[in-house]
Structure 1
């Protein structure tokens, strides 16, 4: 039904835009006109329509309590994290999980007080019979993928959770992850948790990201999870079956190691899902420079994954559409940056060559799915007893300014990957 509605919307958009398509073709070239309209109107319209119907018709998310709570190893890759590693470990110590937890802090050659802050937290765990904290120190900085793979070798248990060193966990989040895993099909080997922004009041940049995580990222992950094809089990908070990660070769030494690993699992025909009520809080970049560098890494990670896992594009599964969806974002971002943004300037001057009234057709769909995901997310937080302050100014910036900034940043990431820019994880 979502697919049918999306295709119907595209046909409607094409019919509505025929006069504009003709005029733009006469001004430039018919193929250029078709390319521009495809990636600023038709494809975004399909995506918004498909997302909207998927969210409206979403099935109830299943959780199932296991007969025996499994033991889990938590891997925390840390580099120069003395400011926040203590808060992260305190949140783990406060978890309400009945099974055993082994916590490995993988200090990747930090030169600050990361190791000292970790040792200071040992006392928190000494009185907890089901938790054990261990510090694993590297003499030199080796990179995130390598320390995670070292942690995988040291892990005592068959379920692995990865979190970032600046991530704070809600008390029931691991219970939720496990219950979602137990209720999923047996081919399920990874489940991505729900990540929200902890430091939303630090700057206008973090206030914007609060809505990106709460709306945009949450909506996409929910949708992908419905079709058993979550494309990123993010390193910030996800659970994996250890043997599946080993069989996939572990975390690759790439910019987007979590993206490439997830696609390795999907390529084997395995299932990756999303647990929308397993909540963790991350510290988002507080400056535009920091945010731009993060999103540049994400864009590069997607290009890396596409280059490594081309066979995914030909797999006969519904979730293959989401791989193509990501691939189309390259063309969308390029068209938006080099055609739509200049077109907006022309539109303000009364010249509607590139940004015409037909592009406004995308807005009602975007507004509707944002309203739907707001209701879904708000009800979920209320059900879980989680409070989140919401910034109105952050939402307005997210809705009207954020896309104008982030899509050019993604283009920057694509070019950096194409021309071999430097790769680093922190």
Structure 2
């Protein structure tokens, strides 16, 4: 999955060696065949919708809610089927690392986060930097107290200028280890998370500059909104990252839990002044002709929003961060062809979200009253490939959980709502985020 040289070196798939270029071509061919099949079946739908609107409008609507989602999902499905994760070269590394935790008013959670760092089975030395970003509570005092009680090598760094990127960069100045990990203050690590993350970067090629950990939800029992997000993280985000990792370019080494090479991090100027600082940073690293991978066994658990207003702000920030990334690093500026393709998909996301918001949702309302101009039997063709994608990822994730001795929670209601309704919520929110960035609206960090 992660370590595939562009030469003939590769991993076997059903006793045949398939290198990364071949996997890309097979996945693309499958996606194009699926697209052709979809177009053929949709011709009656296209004709009927053209009579109601115009031919161009009909093509745009069907492309936005059918053709392009099917193309992307089928590419992901075949990529996942071809994915094989290599074993670690060094399963128990002993090298020293640093961890940066950027904090703002985290006095209630910081001690618990530090306890989980102390409980790691990683044998190397760990130095923790708590970057206090002008907290008005007792975050710094609680961090120092917990560090002494746990006998951690802990340093509190003060960054008075507001902005998470300022806190991270202030701590980065003092990092001397080859690798540095960022961790959110409310994120708890599985006991082997750091060991797996470091093992992956050691196993990966020498030009690897970051490895994203697998961030999952720990408060899914709180309400239905949290239950839905549990599946988003467990299946949706994980499938995208795993597919991108196979092509050597996970597009977001998220700040909540990721590892970076300190030298390259400093070379690109650290974290940028952006609302999606981790997105822009990752794309800058990729632009340097470096590789970014994903390690599914390096698991961390985070709190997700349980109130809709907080959920809305977070998701609109993520959408806005994607646009920031596209403005700073254009897809055609990426030197690796696979990364060029993956970032180009993001160029289509505003169109897809617009089509979903302005066509799919009104189409559902019309279908409820028996008017099947937009939503009808043909649109159900998108569901099989999406369900197959979720099933494949579920099988992969189940094996990861078994190895980590974790259990998958019984959350059937959340899964059904996630599959059938989640995009109804996400697309309009994403459009808001795109609009905020286009018109350079004031940033809201919390």
Aligned 8 A contact 1:173 1:279 in 2: yes
CA-to-aligned-CA distance 1:375-419 (integer Å, 9 cap, x gap) = 110111101212342322211221222211111110111111111
Residue equivalent to 2:119: 94
Q: Which ranges of structure 2 fall in alignment gaps of 5 or more residues? A: 1-25
1:137 to 143, 158, 161: 158
1:221 correspondence with 2:241: yes
Report the CA distance between 1:113 and its aligned residue.
Answer: 2.2
1:119 to 133, 136, 144: 144
Residue equivalent to 1:180: 200
Count of residues in Structure 1 that have an aligned counterpart in Structure 2 = 421
Aligned 8 A contact 1:90 1:124 in 2: no
2:169 to 144, 149, 155: 149
2:371 to 337, 351, 356: 351
Report the CA distance between 1:119 and its aligned residue.
Answer: 2.3
CA-to-aligned-CA distance 1:347-390 (integer Å, 9 cap, x gap) = 11222222232211010111111111111101111012123423
Residue equivalent to 1:272: 292
Residue equivalent to 2:403: 383
Report the Cα distance in structure 2 between the residues aligned to 1:23 and 1:377, rounded to whole angstroms. 42
Report the Cα distance in structure 2 between the residues aligned to 1:101 and 1:10, rounded to whole angstroms. 49
Query: Kindly tell me: are residues 301 and 213 of structure 1, through their superposed partners in 2, closer, same or farther at Cα, counting changes over 3 Å?
Result: same
Report the CA distance between 1:315 and its aligned residue.
Answer: 4.3
Report the CA distance between 1:141 and its aligned residue.
Answer: 4.5
Report the Cα distance in structure 1 between the residues aligned to 2:158 and 2:410, rounded to whole angstroms. 39
Residue equivalent to 2:313: 293
**Of 56-65 and 2-11, the range deviating more from structure 2:** 56-65
1:283 correspondence with 2:303: yes
Give the 5 Å matches for 1:5-404.
Answer: 5-65=30-90, 69-126=94-151, 131-138=152-159, 140-310=160-330, 312=332, 315=335, 317-404=337-424
Secondary structure (helix, strand or coil) at the match of 2:337 reads: coil
Report the CA distance between 1:152 and its aligned residue.
Answer: 0.7
CA-to-aligned-CA distance 1:14-44 (integer Å, 9 cap, x gap) = 1111121122122212111111111110010
Report the CA distance between 1:272 and its aligned residue.
Answer: 0.3
Aligned 8 A contact 2:92 2:195 in 1: no
Report the Cα distance in structure 2 between the residues aligned to 1:186 and 1:352, rounded to whole angstroms. 55
Secondary structure (helix, strand or coil) at the match of 2:215 reads: strand
Query: Kindly tell me: are residues 154 and 335 of structure 1, through their superposed partners in 2, closer, same or farther at Cα, counting changes over 3 Å?
Result: same
Report the Cα distance in structure 2 between the residues aligned to 1:213 and 1:70, rounded to whole angstroms. 30
Query: Kindly tell me: are residues 155 and 313 of structure 1, through their superposed partners in 2, closer, same or farther at Cα, counting changes over 3 Å?
Result: closer
Report the Cα distance in structure 2 between the residues aligned to 1:103 and 1:216, rounded to whole angstroms. 31
Query: Kindly tell me: are residues 118 and 272 of structure 1, through their superposed partners in 2, closer, same or farther at Cα, counting changes over 3 Å?
Result: same
Query: Kindly tell me: are residues 369 and 28 of structure 1, through their superposed partners in 2, closer, same or farther at Cα, counting changes over 3 Å?
Result: same
1:3 correspondence with 2:28: yes
Aligned 8 A contact 1:203 1:287 in 2: no
Report the CA distance between 1:186 and its aligned residue.
Answer: 1.0
Report the Cα distance in structure 2 between the residues aligned to 1:390 and 1:262, rounded to whole angstroms. 34
Report the CA distance between 1:316 and its aligned residue.
Answer: 5.5
Aligned 8 A contact 1:41 1:358 in 2: no
Secondary structure (helix, strand or coil) at the match of 1:160 reads: strand
Query: Kindly tell me: are residues 67 and 237 of structure 1, through their superposed partners in 2, closer, same or farther at Cα, counting changes over 3 Å?
Result: closer
Aligned 8 A contact 2:91 2:195 in 1: no
Report the Cα distance in structure 1 between the residues aligned to 2:405 and 2:92, rounded to whole angstroms. 25
Aligned 8 A contact 1:25 1:32 in 2: yes
Report the Cα distance in structure 1 between the residues aligned to 2:333 and 2:386, rounded to whole angstroms. 27
Aligned 8 A contact 1:254 1:423 in 2: no
Secondary structure (helix, strand or coil) at the match of 1:103 reads: strand
Report the CA distance between 1:11 and its aligned residue.
Answer: 0.4
Query: Kindly tell me: are residues 105 and 311 of structure 1, through their superposed partners in 2, closer, same or farther at Cα, counting changes over 3 Å?
Result: same
Secondary structure (helix, strand or coil) at the match of 2:423 reads: helix
Aligned 8 A contact 2:279 2:325 in 1: yes
Report the CA distance between 1:163 and its aligned residue.
Answer: 0.6
Aligned 8 A contact 2:157 2:170 in 1: no
Report the Cα distance in structure 2 between the residues aligned to 1:318 and 1:115, rounded to whole angstroms. 43
Report the CA distance between 1:314 and its aligned residue.
Answer: 6.4
Residue equivalent to 1:423: 443
CA-to-aligned-CA distance 1:84-129 (integer Å, 9 cap, x gap) = 1111111111111111110000110111221222122023332xxx
Report the CA distance between 1:157 and its aligned residue.
Answer: 1.2
